Structure 1
């Protein structure tokens, strides 16, 4: 601020001018304002980065917690293990019954039972192979060798993908399971050798078998379908078909377990008998 002398005849007084700071001081003020703005922008970037890092670490921790952990279920998932168990029971009550009725014209009861049971178990075996054979190695090769055609070249002897990333890949595969099931069905139908007995009921049964078994194997960990048993009838694992007895004559329908060595999700069905003999 500067001083200005005002004058009238016989009288003078001094006033202060408010015309603003000199150029040098003004420049300093402007520079300070720019510095404050830049500092705030940098802090915003830092906060955004920290929030992103927290989310990333949280996702990794969550993945590690859920990875291969059957005790944590997503209740919003329409294809979670308990729902798959319900689908398997409905398959036996509905499509199995329809296919059985269609096959009665040319086959006896026991042969029909074995035929339909084997379709389900073969579907399960094929889906299991598709879902597990060098799965992560193939994904890694697509990332590291993108110019190679799928199925060509040598696979590495192991995957280096981190566990949290593997879990995210498995979660995405499970999310997309129903979108690929028709392609899986086409591949499996060609291996079942059911052409001579094919009809509308059997065709619907096969489609349902592939859909349900594919949903089983993409769980983390995979569900386990088992048609094996000791010769003794274990009522904790099987329920009777049409006959009771202390021994098993044959398995009609497999049991479903949450994972290998895990708890039972839904009982299988077996034909009981009195005599002790090896079931088929």
Structure 2
């Protein structure tokens, strides 16, 4: 449990082990981190992993090896991967048109392991599956940029608290709902106040797939059902109608691309940005001895 010993263990295994040895030692380290952090993945486990990477591979290098902790990844034979952990290393990779993206993966899950309903219903191939330099990736990104006014550089959202959320609401669900409510208003011009409950359910059901953990068939069907409800409401709005028409003008299936964008908004928007906002506020609350946390709202 001693951090210094844990980091030396990591450095030794990365220096002398390979393949299965790295995976097995990685499982030991992961178990240690979750125990040490009392299960707090975003607020503590990731910091422990970062400290190990920095000590073993250094900030100057910024690139290291990482044992897969994804069951889906391991099942398909990918035991050890490369991780870009410094900002400069990640940026150089993320901005490289030739970096390449795996066409068969959804973050840490191989798409062949996912039941129907986890991926967008109308098209399983998403932006994450296309290399940055491909014409398809560029066309989809341009459609999003041109078809969604909120992505314009000068756009300003009329921020509002969702129904039932007050300055005293500082729990995780409240932060997520505040993010999702305003995100869908900004992106699609629709009020999703009555759908926030199923969005929260969606995120909790979907998250294991991001980590490569098993998703069951009934869960996939429920994800698809929730997206259908949200898609129906989004599609009725003026932004969606213009977006679909713009896609048609460009010879693209506009409804498919809108369906993909709703999928992205739930995954990276409600879930990803919701987590970012909550963890940021949690750190501020923890580190700030000043005003009451609720005043931050």
TM-score, with structure 1 as normaliser: 0.29
Higher strand share: 1
TM-score, with structure 2 as normaliser: 0.28
Higher helix share: 2
